[in-house]
Amino acid sequence: MPSFDGSPARAASLMRIGITCYPTYGGSGIVATELGMELAARGHDVHFITYANPIRLDPGLPRIHYHEVEVTSYPLFQYPPYTLSLSSRMAEVAERYNLDLLHVHYAIPHAISAFLAREMLAPKRYLPVVTTLHGTDITLVGTEPGLFPITKFGMERSDGITTISDYLRVRTEEVFGIGPDRVRVIHNFVNCRLYHPAEHEPEVPTLLHVSNFRPVKRVQDCIRILAEVRKQHPAARLLLAGDGPERAPAERLAWELGVAANVEFLGKQDHVERLFPQAHILLMPSDYEAFGLAALEAMACGVVPVSTRCGGVPELITDGHDGFLEGVGDYQAQAARVAELIGNPNRRRRMALAARRTAETRFDTEAVIAQYETFYREMCDKLH
């Protein structure tokens, strides 16, 4: 991680930032947590405000503070009023620690809670709110008829909006009518000092899939891809990291296709930077990806991604250069690419080096975190 140089000029630009995210195994929470840790490493004070400690947040890090949101259980409420409890906690932390701004990840309910917190503080001060859209909050949750108006309201009342891909910026404009001048694209990022290739590549051809095992991730396609690949490369194996509703169907399919002995279900993993270097190829056969964070982390580790051509993935992967892109559901074409990489180690190594260069030159934390810092200061400067 970058380190704080302690200079007076640097100190004058430091900020106190509140971050709210879903603290579970999902891309938005991972990005928010990694962002907070990188900001703290640069000298900012970062306050996480959420209902549980984010999964990738290591305890005891300097300038990192965690404020748990306690939700009242009361017979009057059929459902716990988390949005209101979060608003109160945001306002309390912002006032107590004199936060410069709130940065919320995922529009619902976090942008609404931040808006309410800002209104609570309004008699004393104005608290800027930055909302980052990660994908399904726009393409799935926000388009539900019952949630569309409140999602649009939350975005319109945010002082600044960022998206993790240009694809998502366009979708935000199309679905919600949010003008492009209001949305800043700041891509996902990876710490290339933490995520790096192994000194020695695995001896056995190893495929890897990392996700939350929701249906959109098409985990069963990974099993089908392995079955096809093993027709040419019998030693190939598949590692599946994560858990969710598609795990049991994937396990059944592995037995049905006769590849269960070559599939290992690893469950949820907190330190995926140690896992990626154990593979040659990442499988990402999703129906939809707003960006493809797992692919970026794999690329930083010199692991070649074989993905579907969907969402914002083409902004990350250049087909045939640092990875492959195929059609959604076309597991046979994806398997052919995997078999090609296994059968041609020299090409795979060239693509692995290209993948690493893409991560280093376009998506490393040194460049991307600075974009967030600039955006934060722009939002705060509006007040003066």
pLDDT at 3 over 50: no
Give 206-362's CATH code, choosing from 3.40.50.720, 3.40.605.10, 3.40.50.460, 3.40.50.2000.
3.40.50.2000
Q: Locate tokens 């690329």: which residue?
A: 299
Position 234 scores a pLDDT of 97
Q: Return phi, psi of residue 224, to 5°.
A: -65, -40
For the stretch 249-266, pLDDT in tens is 999 999 999 999 999 999
Q: Give CATH for domain 8-189+364-381.
A: 3.40.50.2000
pLDDT at 9 over 80: no
8-state DSSP, 265: E
Q: Assign residue 19 a region (left: φ > 0; alpha: ψ between -120 and 50; beta: otherwise).
A: beta
Whether the full predicted model's pTM is greater than 0.85, yes or no, is yes
Burial readout 130-166 (b: 16 or more C-beta within 10 A, e: otherwise): bbbbbbbbbbeebeeeebeebbbebbebbbbbbbbbb
Mean pLDDT of 240-256: 97
Enumerate the domain spans of the chain: 8-189+364-381, 206-362
> Residue 369: which pLDDT band, with cuts at 50, 70 and 90?
very high
67 closest CA partner among 84, 82, 86, 50: 50
Position 384 scores a pLDDT of 60
Containing 244, the helix (H) or strand (E) segment is none
Task: Tell me whether domains 8-189+364-381 and 206-362 share a fold.
Answer: yes
For the stretch 184-193, pLDDT in tens is 999 999 999 9
d(CA 262, CA 306): 19
**CB 354, CB 326: distance < 8 Å:** no
Position 6 scores a pLDDT of 40
Position 180 scores a pLDDT of 80
| Mean pLDDT for the chain overall | 91
Position 143 scores a pLDDT of 64
> Residue 5: which pLDDT band, with cuts at 50, 70 and 90?
very low
Mean pLDDT of 329-343: 98
> Residue 29: which pLDDT band, with cuts at 50, 70 and 90?
confident
Mean pLDDT of 186-210: 96
Q: Assign residue 309 a region (left: φ > 0; alpha: ψ between -120 and 50; beta: otherwise).
A: beta
Position 141 scores a pLDDT of 62
> Residue 320: which pLDDT band, with cuts at 50, 70 and 90?
very high
d(CA 216, CA 205): 26
Calculate what percentage of the chain has a pLDDT beyond 70. 94
**CB 127, CB 159: distance < 8 Å:** no
pLDDT at 78 over 80: no
Position 289 scores a pLDDT of 94
For the stretch 129-161, pLDDT in tens is 999 998 877 766 656 778 888 999 999 999 999
Tell me how long the chain is.
384
Q: Is 271 exposed, middle or buried (0-12, 13-18, 19+ CB in 10 A)?
A: exposed
For the stretch 267-310, pLDDT in tens is 998 889 999 999 999 999 999 999 999 999 999 999 999 999 99
More reliable by pLDDT, 231 or 8: 231
